[in-house]
């Protein structure tokens, strides 16, 4: 299909990096009319970000592209800590797992950003044709920059208006191609914070150019995903300046295939040398290894560094010094860059809830903790369904304000973590306990080991809002550092004092455990039945439905849901291609009966339950073309081949009590309530606060 580029769009995305592509993927799944522009000629091909955290992999899996990353990436299981012995020679001090077991079914994995960008582009293409936007397809428009943005404040409260006007300029290939330091080796210096922003000079050049291709686009929403130098953020004015500081720490990065006798080269390693700086080793796919190397001989002297002296050779020499007496050489270098550690975060993430900022456009920090790309994608994951469902008039528009509430908190936690981690990693190791200016190696490894809940992305715990109904004792949201110790002690699962589902905490992601499909005994990770398709999930933990009283309760709930809830929130043509794990697009329903998808998990003996005979139709909805849906009812039972998922135990639900859990379209718990009648009203109120009813 030849793409049609409309001049009136629901959303204009500026920037097609990880944040912009995540948004575009959401909008492709929801059938939202979207344009996405990027100033560069092409996507990233090598280098740049490479660490995928567990939560990011869960999110990518929910779109059906996680398996591709999981398959190609190098998975990191162990981390080694090296520091000087009393003679000043580096030695391995300790080893630890790189991930906490049981946090997620995924572990931290490494693959370069360019591969992931390809998977996103394929995922977007796979969403079409889409019944909600039959003539429109999202594709990245390259070599395009916005040069002006205006907001008609009189129209921002009008759902049908296009209050934003943006001028787009098309660049020549030469203008859009970044200069590289060396002709034979690609670098990432042009994206580094050591480089100046090139957009102002691009705009200046355009002013003098004849035959410019310029167009005006009107949009309901604009999202600036345009990275650390964000034009969108700067255009919004002074209130949107970022706050924070640059440090004097300069680091270089090399992606090489190393030839070395250093024994832990295929492990993640943190190496502190006595006086030559620090080094982090990240083993990657295809025998590549990424080295983050502290450049102690390049000084920023309190300001911006002179980067002309930074070459791959100089960076490599610094690495050899740190790792000595072990030998280090290479024949193949894939990519290199350098950066100055700085931590900055914006005060405001949105203007009038019409223009939003996501990713590096609104928070930046050092890349070593493998967070930037992950947090950037997760910003966009949080925002995408909200804008999409507002465009479809399904969600109250006020819900958009939860984006800043939820993601600013995470950005601040990220900056606080990075500040602590960078200081400990870039500091000189203490010679002994009396050496107060040196860094304690024990404190460094403890900080790293304690940070898994946060760095994996699993520890995210959003504040109370219309979307997050916290029980009173949970209204004060502790920082990740405060809760981490408790959570790790509790085998990595967040403990809620709400007794109904103790491991489902409103504001945190709904965990995944194995359950058995009632219809065919196939074991499923429950996440697999909750794809990112824009729907809310009501998970009914019914307990033993062989018990007649329980069965009656669950069926009364079904009847009430069907007449009083689902019919108020119907839904047409949301996303037929969105369930990537079960079957092909051809056999998807043309529409879903409701924006709320009901899933039932019971503890009865599977053999004693018949779906059609025993359960209300809400648990097996009927489609005139496809028949009954047998994919909504699951047993918590031993499988034939894959063991027992013990889902009730995992979710912390007492089978005699049961529970209702509302899960938002991004997989975060919105409400935990009783499966008895008082819980139904709570659930109904929650939906009323979030969704527009007919
Ligand atoms: P970007 O990736 O910067 O994307 C912005 C996009 O917008 C670009 O495509 C750019 O061309 C485009 N653009 C910019 N201005 C304009 C404009 N005016 N008009 C149109 N288009 C525009 N993060 C991790 O999570 N894990 C890691 O392991 C990791 N390692 C890293 C290693 C290095 C060496 C570096 C430098 C970074 C690393 N990061 C890592 C950080 C990560 O790369 C960034 O945080 C992430 O790319 C941010 O994504 P983004 O989409 O917000 O911005």
Mutate which of 373, 383, 384, 418 for ligand 1? The one with the most ligand atoms within 8 Å of its CB, which is 373
Residue 657 sits at the vertex; the CA angle it makes with 651 and 660, to the nearest 5 degrees, is: 60
State residue 183's pLDDT score.
Answer: 63
Nearest-atom index, ligand 1, CA of 50: 28
Nearest-atom index, ligand 1, CA of 56: 25
Q: Are residues 528 and 413 in the same domain?
A: no
Nearest-atom index, ligand 1, CA of 358: 52
Residue 40 sits at the vertex; the CA angle it makes with 282 and 332, to the nearest 5 degrees, is: 35
Most confident of 16-30, 106-120, 189-203, 464-478: 16-30
Is 168 contained in some domain? Answer: yes
pLDDT above 80: residue 219? yes
What CA–CA distance (Å, rounded) separates 391 from 397?
9
More confident residue, 162 or 694: 162
Is 306 contained in some domain? Answer: no
Question: What is the 3 state secondary structure string of 344-384?
Answer: EEECCCEECCCEEECHHHCEECCHHHCCHHHHHHHHHHHHH
Cα 427 to ligand 1 centroid, rounded to whole Å = 26
Q: Are residues 556 and 662 in the same domain?
A: yes
State residue 146's pLDDT score.
Answer: 97
Q: Name the active-site residue from 367, 531, 621, 665.
A: 367
Is 468 contained in some domain? Answer: no
**Atom 43 in ligand 1: which residue has the minimum CA distance?**
49
State residue 282's pLDDT score.
Answer: 95
Mutate which of 47, 360, 375, 380 for ligand 1? The one with the most ligand atoms within 8 Å of its CB, which is 360
Average pLDDT for 56-82: 94
Q: pLDDT band at 634, cuts 50/70/90?
A: very high
Most confident of 13-17, 283-287, 310-314, 437-441: 13-17
Name the residue among 143, 118, 138 with its Cα closest to residue 41.
143
Is 284 contained in some domain? Answer: no
Q: Are residues 383 and 523 in the same domain?
A: no
What CA–CA distance (Å, rounded) separates 508 from 498?
13
Which of 208-212, 330-334, 380-384, 536-540 has the weakest average pLDDT? 208-212
State residue 559's pLDDT score.
Answer: 96
Q: pLDDT band at 100, cuts 50/70/90?
A: confident
Which of 35-44, 62-71, 463-472 has the weakest average pLDDT? 35-44
pLDDT above 80: residue 616? yes
pLDDT above 70: residue 166? yes
Is 558 contained in some domain? Answer: yes
Average pLDDT for 407-416: 93
What CA–CA distance (Å, rounded) separates 101 from 157?
47
Q: Name the active-site residue from 10, 50, 226, 666.
A: 50
Share of the chain above pLDDT 70, in %: 87
Is 275 contained in some domain? Answer: no
Is 131 contained in some domain? Answer: yes
Do 41 and 173 contact (CB within 8 A), yes or no? Answer: yes
Q: pLDDT band at 599, cuts 50/70/90?
A: very high
The DSSP string of 241-282 is: -EEEEEEEEEEEEEEEEEEE--TTTTSEEEEE-SSS-EEEEE
Q: Are residues 409 and 522 in the same domain?
A: no
Ligand 1 pocket, residue 20 CB under 6 Å:
yes
Q: Kindly compute the dihedral angle of the four CA atoms of residues 653, 657, 662, 668, in this order, to the nearest 10 degrees.
A: -20
Q: pLDDT band at 212, cuts 50/70/90?
A: low
Burial of 528 (0-12, 13-18, 19+ CB in 10 A): middle
pLDDT above 50: residue 628? yes
Neighbours of 556 (CB within 10 A): 13
Mutate which of 168, 228, 250, 376 for ligand 1? The one with the most ligand atoms within 8 Å of its CB, which is 376
Ligand 1 pocket, residue 222 CB under 6 Å:
no
Is 259 contained in some domain? Answer: no
Name the residue among 161, 160, 127 with its Cα closest to residue 31.
127
Has 367 been annotated as catalytic?
Answer: yes
State residue 128's pLDDT score.
Answer: 87
Residue 344 sits at the vertex; the CA angle it makes with 187 and 11, to the nearest 5 degrees, is: 80
Question: How high is the mean pLDDT of the chain?
Answer: 87
State residue 492's pLDDT score.
Answer: 39
State residue 584's pLDDT score.
Answer: 42
State residue 580's pLDDT score.
Answer: 44
Has 292 been annotated as catalytic?
Answer: yes
Nearest-atom index, ligand 1, CA of 228: 3
What CA–CA distance (Å, rounded) separates 632 from 644?
19
State residue 420's pLDDT score.
Answer: 84
Q: pLDDT band at 172, cuts 50/70/90?
A: confident
Mutate which of 367, 375, 380, 454 for ligand 1? The one with the most ligand atoms within 8 Å of its CB, which is 367
Number of structural domains in the chain: 2
State residue 134's pLDDT score.
Answer: 79
> Which of 417, 452, 472 is at the close of a domain?
417
Has 325 been annotated as catalytic?
Answer: no
The backbone torsions φ and ψ at residue 568, rounded to the nearest 5 degrees and listed phi first, read -80, -20
Q: Name the active-site residue from 55, 115, 191, 284.
A: 284
More confident residue, 638 or 586: 638
pLDDT above 90: residue 504? yes
Nearest-atom index, ligand 1, CA of 20: 51
pLDDT above 60: residue 302? no
Average pLDDT for 476-500: 50
pLDDT above 70: residue 174? yes
Do 418 and 365 contact (CB within 8 A), yes or no? Answer: yes
Average pLDDT for 632-646: 96
State residue 489's pLDDT score.
Answer: 47
Q: pLDDT band at 297, cuts 50/70/90?
A: confident
The CATH code of the domain that includes 548 is 3.40.30.20
Q: What is the pLDDT of residues 575-597, one digit of tens each?
A: 544 444 444 444 455 556 789 99
pLDDT above 70: residue 15? yes
Q: Are residues 237 and 112 in the same domain?
A: yes
Q: pLDDT band at 306, cuts 50/70/90?
A: low
pLDDT above 80: residue 37? yes
Average pLDDT for 453-463: 93
Domain with 575 in it:
514-690
Ligand 1 pocket, residue 16 CB under 6 Å:
yes
ipTM greater than 0.90: yes
Ligand 1 pocket, residue 341 CB under 6 Å:
no
pLDDT above 50: residue 491? no
Average pLDDT for 459-466: 95
> Which of 364, 399, 417 is at the close of a domain?
417
pLDDT above 70: residue 238? yes
Q: Are residues 413 and 518 in the same domain?
A: no
Which of 63-77, 153-167, 293-307, 610-624 has the weakest average pLDDT? 293-307
Which of 127-136, 324-333, 642-651 has the weakest average pLDDT? 127-136
> Which of 417, 432, 449 is at the close of a domain?
417
The CATH code of the domain that includes 134 is 3.50.50.60
Which tokens hold the place of 45? 């091909």
Coil, helix or strand at residue 642: coil
Has 522 been annotated as catalytic?
Answer: no
């Amino acid at each position: 299909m030849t793409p049609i580029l409309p001049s009136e769009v629901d959303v204009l995305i500026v920037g097609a990096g990880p944040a912009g592509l995540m948004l575009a993927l959401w909008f492709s799944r929801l059938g939202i009319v979207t344009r996405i522009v990027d100033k560069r000629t092409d996507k990233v091909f090598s280098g740049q970000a490479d660490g995928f955290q567990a939560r990011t992999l869960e999110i990518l899996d929910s779109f059906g592209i996680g398996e591709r990353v999981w398959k190609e990436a190098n998975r990191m299981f162990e981390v080694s800590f090296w520091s000087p012995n009393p003679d000043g020679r580096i030695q391995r001090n300790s080893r630890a797992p790189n991930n906490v077991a049981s946090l997620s079914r995924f572990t931290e994995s490494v693959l370069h950003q360019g591969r992931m960008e390809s998977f996103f582009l394929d995922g977007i293409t796979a969403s079409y044709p889409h019944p909600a936007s039959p003539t429109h397809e999202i594709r990245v428009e390259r070599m395009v920059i916005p040069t002006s943005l205006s907001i008609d404040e009189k129209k921002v409260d009008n759902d049908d208006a296009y209050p934003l006007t943006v001028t787009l300029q098309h660049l020549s290939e030469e203008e859009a191609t970044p200069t590289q330091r060396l002709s034979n080796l690609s670098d990432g210096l042009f994206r580094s914070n050591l480089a100046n922003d090139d957009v102002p000079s691009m705009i200046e050049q355009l002013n003098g150019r004849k035959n410019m291709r310029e167009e005006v686009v009107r949009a309901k929403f604009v999202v600036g995903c345009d990275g650390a130098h964000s034009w969108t953020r700067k255009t919004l004015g002074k209130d949107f300046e970022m706050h924070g500081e640059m440090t004097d720490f300069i680091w270089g990065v090399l992606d090489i295939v190393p030839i070395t006798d250093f024994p832990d080269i295929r492990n993640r390693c943190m190496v502190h040398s006595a006086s030559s700086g620090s080094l982090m080793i990240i083993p990657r796919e295809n025998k590549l290894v990424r080295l983050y190397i502290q450049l102690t001989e390049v000084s920023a002297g309190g300001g911006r560094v002179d980067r002309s002296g930074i070459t791959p050779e100089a960076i490599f020499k610094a690495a050899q010094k740190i790792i000595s007496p072990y030998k280090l050489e290479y024949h193949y270098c894939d990519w290199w860059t350098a950066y100055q550690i700085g931590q900055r975060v914006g005060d405001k993430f949105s203007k009038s809830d019409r223009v939003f900022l996501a990713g590096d456009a609104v928070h930046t920090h050092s890349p070593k903790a493998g967070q930037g790309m992950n947090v950037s994608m997760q910003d966009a994951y949080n925002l995408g369904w909200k804008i999409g469902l507002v465009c479809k008039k399904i969600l109250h528009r006020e819900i958009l304000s939860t984006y800043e509430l939820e993601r600013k908190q995470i950005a601040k936690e990220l900056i606080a973590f990075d500040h602590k981690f960078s200081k400990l990693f870039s500091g000189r190791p203490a010679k002994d306990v009396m050496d107060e200016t040196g860094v304690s190696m024990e404190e460094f490894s403890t900080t790293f080991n304690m940070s898994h809940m946060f760095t994996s992305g699993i520890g995210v715990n959003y504040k109370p809002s219309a979307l997050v109904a916290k029980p009173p004792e949970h209204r004060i949201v502790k920082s990740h550092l405060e809760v981490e110790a408790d959570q790790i002690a509790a085998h990595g699962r967040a403990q809620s004092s709400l007794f109904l589902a103790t491991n489902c905490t409103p504001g945190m992601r709904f965990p995944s455990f194995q359950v058995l499909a009632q219809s065919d005994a196939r074991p499923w990770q429950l996440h697999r039945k909750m794809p990112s398709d824009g729907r809310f999930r009501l998970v009914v933990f019914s307990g033993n439905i062989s018990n007649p009283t329980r069965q009656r309760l669950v069926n009364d709930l079904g009847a009430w849901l069907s007449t009083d809830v689902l019919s108020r929130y119907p839904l047409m043509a949301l996303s037929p291609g969105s369930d990537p794990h079960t079957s092909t697009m051809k056999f998807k329903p043309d529409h879903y009966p409701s924006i709320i998808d009901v899933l039932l998990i019971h503890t009865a003996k599977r053999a004693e339950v018949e779906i059609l005979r025993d359960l209300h139709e809400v648990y097996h909805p009927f489609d005139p073309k496809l028949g009954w849906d047998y994919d909504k009812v699951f047993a918590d039972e031993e499988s034939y081949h894959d063991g027992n998922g013990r889902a009730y135990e995992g979710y912390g639900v007492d089978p005699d009590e049961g529970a209702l859990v509302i899960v938002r379209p991004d997989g975060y718990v919105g409400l935990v309530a009783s499966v008895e009648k008082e819980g139904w009203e709570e659930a109904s109120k929650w939906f009323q606060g979030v969704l527009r009813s007919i």
